[in-house]
Amino acid sequence: MLARAMKPPGAYKIAGRSRSFEAYLEPSVRSARRLERILGSLRSQIREGGRVRLRRIFKDPREVYRLEVEVPELACQRITLLDRDALERLLSAEDVLAVVGRSAVAG
């Protein structure tokens, strides 16, 4: 019986993903696209009714916030660290701001 040839590692094509071409982009563009994907994912989890807690964990040299989104139906908790600019972009959607505004913001 003949042995089947194995594909070498990394030879699998990912044709349907736009991220496969991001390696050719500038690092600043890749970073901005990654941030948008993260913020979009957080927005959708918050809109789906996740419980949100927000608190500031650093003030100097840069403000950093800890955002906890608890999704009971999935039995998971997502913890994300955001700087001030990213938090403001996340809260730019009114429905997200309404949910997060109800949570306690501690400094």
Is 30 exposed, middle or buried, given 0-12, 13-18 or 19+ CB atoms closer than 10 A? Answer: middle
Q: Any alpha helices (H) in 1-107, and if so which ranges?
A: 27-47, 84-90, 94-102
Instruction: List, for residues 41-89, the tens digit of each pLDDT value.
Output: 898 888 887 788 888 998 888 899 999 988 877 778 888 999 999 999 9
Contact 14, 20 (CB under 8 A): yes
Question: What are the tokens at 87?
Answer: 């938090």
Please, what is the average pLDDT of the chain? 79
Which residues make beta-bridge pairs with 29? Answer: none
The ranges assigned to domains in the chain are 50-107
